[in-house]
Chains A and B, each alone.
Chain A
Amino acid sequence: MAAGEKPVVPSHPKASEERLDAIRNEAAATGKVVTGAGRVYANAQIPGAEDYYNLPVLKPPTWTWEVPLYFFVGGIAGVSSVIAFVGHLFHADPPMVRVALWIAFVGTGLCPALLISDLGRPLRFLNMLRVFKWRSAMSMGSWILAAFGGCAFLALATNELILYGIQNPFLPPLRWVGEFTGAVTGLLLASYTGVLIGATAIPVWYENRRLIPAHFLTSGLGGSSAILELFGFLLPATQILGFAAAGIETVVGVILESRLGRVDAPLHHGKSGWTMRIAGTLEGPIALLVRILWHGSAKGRYAAAACFLLGALCSRYAWIWAGRASAHDPQALFESQHAAMTASRAARRTP
């Protein structure tokens, strides 16, 4: 049994002899039965060989509330570094650059704290840096986060020192180094989390593995520019970034709605589905619409920014919950694998 899981001993309405007869005959004839209310009487086994008592094959993610929050914060922190670097490069408003660097730096503090809190043995967090494994997205992510931390700190510290008035010739180049490496590692930080969940055994995650990194990155983009807007930096750049992020998220939302396989059911049904839809609507069409309708007013931009941030945060939770729901659905797994087997057999047959 999965930890903390309680098995479902269902309570169902009473059956009738006719229904029971029908089930038995169908099972004998086809080896399969339509699942539903009648199933329970037959010791939950009459359905032919579809699965083992509808028990999950996979184990659901064990991560708690810290992890989706980390995705959210990490994405924002990572893209903030990019904004800081590019902004600095193209002579953007220095106070904005400074705030962006601070956002990144605060992220470097919050992110590890969240992750360490989620660990089963938090005191052993340093074991994350025992090895460096290309093939483990989490190993890569640990190193990325560590590197990002260093770079973001370098960028921030050098910038603050320069702003404070320290006239050291090494500071500016170091600042560029920090900002550049911070931007690169920041991009990785904001996108690797999509790879992290995409490269797992959970069907709804691996089936959407090409979409999720882009989706997470976009959330980071829109999120960091939204925070900058909320700090009062109502610049054209942040407006453009806001539009771009909400626009892309709208497209992502449409793509997700169009996925109709059983594997993608968690995206539309249940707790994860509804959260996903509401979140997607907030960070997509609503943020976009608000920004369009009130592009001139500050309050409009604040509202759009807030919508986006709320949607992005909820969306992270939705994805984790979707993973849990997906792990609990054995039929989704079997369907996806049988489809894959048929496809590969078909592929092999056509020369």
Chain B
Amino acid sequence: MPGLGTTYGRGGATTAPSDVVHSDAILIMGSNMAENHPVGFQWVIEAKEKHGAHVIHVDPRFSRTSAVANTWVSLRAGSDILFLGGLINYILQNNLDFREYVLHYTNASVIIPETFKDSEDLGGIFSGWDAQKKQYDNTSWLYQGVKADEGSSDHHDNAQSGGHSQHGIDSSTDLSTYEQDLTLQHPRCVYQIMKRHFARYTPEMVERYCGVSKEAFLNVAKIYTSASGPDKTGAICYALGWTQHSSGVQMIRCAAMIQLLLGNMGRPGGGILALRGHASIQGSTDIPTLFDSLPGYLSMPKFGYSSKDLASFIRANKPRTGFWNNFDKYIISMLKAFYGDSATPENDFGFNWLPRVTGDHSHQAYWLDMMDGKMDGLFVIGQNPAVAGPNSGMERRALGKLKWLVVREMVETETATFWRDSPEVQSGELKPAHIGTEVFLMPAAGHVEKDGTFTNTQRLLQWREKAIDSPGDARSENWFIYHLWERIIAKAKLDLRPRNQGLLALRMDYAIKGERREPEAEEILQEINGWTIADHKQLTTFAELKADGTTACGCWIYCGVYPERGRNRGNERDPKDEYGHGWGWAWPLDRRVIYNRASAKPDGTPWSERKKLVWWDEAAMKWTGKDVPDFTATKPPTYVPPPGAEGDAALAGDKPYILHADGMGWLWVPVGLNDGPLPTHYEPLESPIRNPMYSTQQVNPAGLNRARPGNEYAKSPDARFPYVLTTYRLTEHHTAGGMSRTLSHLAELQPELFCEISMELAAELKITHGEWVTLVTARGAIEAHALSTSRMKPLTIEGKTVHQVGVPFHWGYNGLVKGDIGNDLIAISEEPNVRIMETKGLLCNVLVGRRQENAAKLKEYHSIMEGKTA
């Protein structure tokens, strides 16, 4: 998310899957799109079959996507930045960038101060690294002429950030004063720095360390870079194959940079499809269930000087230029939605009732706290960490340290039953009698049993109407939270300490329907959309939001979905054009392809007839076209901001990236990322080789590996774990299997856990196809059937054969079909920006036979890990 957020301004897919029918080339990498987004993949098929698009799939495995791609290239899991850096180098060395686009729409020409030192100069780290705090000070990354904002020293404390707010953009610094060289010749302009930075990412490098032959790599480079220019565009699709890495955000950054260099952003058939994993996971970051983000990607206040009052908080988050200049309007309107009439200018609109972030409260961090006995209780809603959590064995053990656990689920998941049948209990390591956790399993309604919206990967809100009542006591989340609130409020009313004021101030007056007393979901959506308080009239756009408390809006980016009473645009099903306007509603303001100002030249005319999307209508004096313009409709292309202008008025008419303070696409990220302004290659936390780029910096320095007993790591390389492990999903199952292993129609499609190994590895280890093998990592061991197949290809890395082993993670100990838990193998680790764990590119070993048969060998591994044997 911050990979895209920092590069473009918003951290989400920039287009819809259906837009790829306009692509001339589609690069799918870090994704198995056909497998995990089969419905969205129909447009890739359409692009390929009806429009001749060239589909390239780069993936360690030959998967269902590879089977229908035009070109497939394997690569070593975790070496993506080498490959993508190689593509960037190829573009820069051969001058294949879309020059006019790059000059006007990106910060390629901006000059960086002398104080900046590149990772190439410092052996793998950038200037500003504080080895003690283990974080960067980004002052030397700022544009020349720009000053850092001193008043927010606590604002940059990485330990407290999860990278989701403001899509990762740090908005305190005024970036609008910068210096440029439009000839791109200045040695310290971004373009030249990039050229030097990526100079060593040669095809030879790619061959030697990714395991991709030069020919194959150059073929991909040639094909993809040819889909660029006024007449051509290319799209990049990625998913968890990039995000679940210790340098995941930087992998995405590489792709984002490629799309800027090739001029593909904001144009039909271009863009980046960040393929999110669940049906509504986009929604779960928009209206976030994240510790560091408020609705609409507003910063969560952190404990410190910048949050002592609303004014300080606004000052720390409101840049002078760009759309985030409206931050105060967004936050105040949100507070009015939260607290209703209780929020007044006198009490800072209830700002001090918002909790403060005091540290790393991400999943990984608090789970380790749980393991250390620091947590009393936990609500687990619609998640199954006993199977899906990283180092799930440790997560299950940690659950036993809680005093109480509430699980809200449709089925009895492994998280709910860990205390009686987890592998630790089954093996006798833990006894239920000694687990003191009191577990409450509250039945949850399924998605057809409640009203509400899904927001899917293309930012599209689609309303769902309840079709049937949930059975028995099963209830929706809205019902649960509302009724829990009712009970808590009853107690809070009798306890008038100041700490309860915020609780009592919450505005929860929704209509309550029926016997079951269900809160009216449409009213919640109306509140999310927002209204003017005086007349309770729905707002139609976030431009109407005010900072004086006269507007309420639960989530500013959703403003417009419910523009008038009785009109729920999320429920509209009448598509009027090829972009689907009239079917659902996409944020922001139903713009389907964001940054679409870039689909026109600086002068406002389309780059070409073939690729026109949005253009300036001189007669009507407004932007028009096939999509809603992602731009102020009446701002002419020739607009020059007057001095001292603020917000959107400070951005010129040829600056498409309106969330950015400088309105440009950021090839260079001066603020917002914790691990560098440019991507550079680090090896995964466990690797079969030393970092070929830097001998002194093996892994991403800013990440956290959380190494501790029970969460150990192999060395890099490690003779005990010679194979590269990658974990992934299958079409037939859904994440931790709660909804698929319990349903016979899905369970029978993939009934048992298997791992995929190459035929060469099977022959080498004398493994019969189909027989049980045990996979072991430094964290744990599981047994699976061995599926030996040509689709797993041994790679040649540094002249030696490296085998890759793949295993899906869907199985657990409940349901119609059971199996060992894949995530027992992976580690709890945190990527520096978004805290996501690394699930691919780890090291493992493969033993013939079941876990039981290998008990002695596994004991050996375990004791080595615990340091008991040398």
Contacts and interface: CB of A to CB of B under 8 A. Distances in A.
Instruction: Find out whether A and B make contact in their complex, taking CB atoms under 8 A apart as touching.
Output: yes
Nearest to A1: B748
A42 B769 contact: yes
Contact of B762 (A10, A41, A44): A41
B764 A41 contact: no
Contacts of A10: 770
A43 interface: yes
A10 B788 CA distance: 14
A14 B768 contact: yes
B766 interface: yes
B762 to A, nearest CB: 6
B768 A40 contact: yes
Contact of A40 (B760, B770, B790): B770
A24 B768 CA distance: 16
Contact of B766 (A11, A14, A42, A44): A14
A5 interface: no
A169 B771 CA distance: 80
Contact of A20 (B759, B771, B789): B759
Interface residues of A, number: 15
A15 B770 contact: no
Contacts of A40: 768-770
B763 interface: yes
B787 interface: yes
B770 A20 contact: no
Interface residues of B, number: 14
A43 B789 contact: yes
A20 B768 CA distance: 12
Interface in B766-805: 766, 768-771, 787-790
B764 A17 contact: yes
The A interface is mostly helix, strand or loop, or mixed, namely loop
Contacts of B790: 43
A43 B759 contact: yes
A14 B762 CA distance: 10
B805 to A, nearest CB: 15
A9 interface: yes
A225 B501 CA distance: 104
A87 to B, nearest CB: 60
Contacts of B760: 20
Contact of A11 (B762, B768, B787, B789): B768
Nearest to A42: B759
B769 A20 contact: no
Nearest to A15: B763
B768 to A, nearest CB: 6
Q: Which of A10, A11, A42 has the most CB of B within 10 A?
A: A42
Nearest to A20: B763
A43 B788 contact: yes
Nearest to A23: B759
Contact of B768 (A16, A17, A41): A41
A271 interface: no
A200 to B, nearest CB: 30
Contacts of A14: 766, 768
A44 B790 CA distance: 11
B277 to A, nearest CB: 29
Contacts of A41: 759, 762-763, 768-769, 788
Given A41-B759, A43-B759, A15 B766 contact: yes
Given A40-B768, A44-B769, A16 B789 contact: no
A133 interface: no
B763 A16 contact: yes
Contacts of B762: 41
Contacts of A43: 759, 769, 787-790
A232 B41 CA distance: 80
A338 interface: no
Contacts of A42: 759, 769, 788
Nearest to A24: B759
Interface in A33-70: 40-44
B853 to A, nearest CB: 15
Interface in B722-776: 759-760, 762-764, 766, 768-771
B754 to A, nearest CB: 11
Interface in B481-507: none
A12 B768 CA distance: 7
A176 B787 CA distance: 72
Contacts of B768: 11-12, 14-15, 40-41
A277 B315 CA distance: 97
A9 B766 contact: no
A42 to B, nearest CB: 6
A270 to B, nearest CB: 24
A158 B787 CA distance: 72
Contacts of B763: 15-17, 20, 41
B201 to A, nearest CB: 34
A24 B760 CA distance: 11
A140 B769 CA distance: 49
Nearest to B789: A43
A324 B839 CA distance: 48
A41 B768 CA distance: 6
Nearest to B762: A41
A42 B759 CA distance: 7
Contact of A9 (B759, B764, B770): B770
Contacts of A12: 768
A40 B788 CA distance: 9
B482 to A, nearest CB: 48
Interface string B499-540: 000000000000000000000000000000000000000000
Nearest to A40: B769
Contacts of B766: 14-15
Contacts of A11: 768, 771
A15 B769 CA distance: 10
A136 B788 CA distance: 47
A329 to B, nearest CB: 22
Interface string B430-468: 000000000000000000000000000000000000000
A15 B763 CA distance: 7
A266 B766 CA distance: 35
Contacts of A24: 759
B763 to A, nearest CB: 4
Nearest to B785: A9
A18 B237 CA distance: 41
Contacts of B770: 9-10, 40
Nearest to A43: B789
A44 B771 CA distance: 13
Nearest to B770: A9
A43 B788 CA distance: 6
Interface of A: 9-12, 14-17, 20, 24, 40-44
Q: Enumerate the 5 nearest inter-chain pairs by beta-carbon distance, A residue then B residue, closest first.
A: A20-B763, A14-B766, A17-B763, A43-B789, A9-B770
22 contacts: A10-B770, A11-B768, A11-B771, A14-B766, A14-B768, A15-B768, A16-B763, A17-B763, A20-B759, A20-B760, A24-B759, A40-B769, A40-B770, A41-B759, A41-B762, A42-B759, A42-B788, A43-B759, A43-B769, A43-B787, A43-B790, A44-B769
Interface of B: 759-760, 762-764, 766, 768-771, 787-790
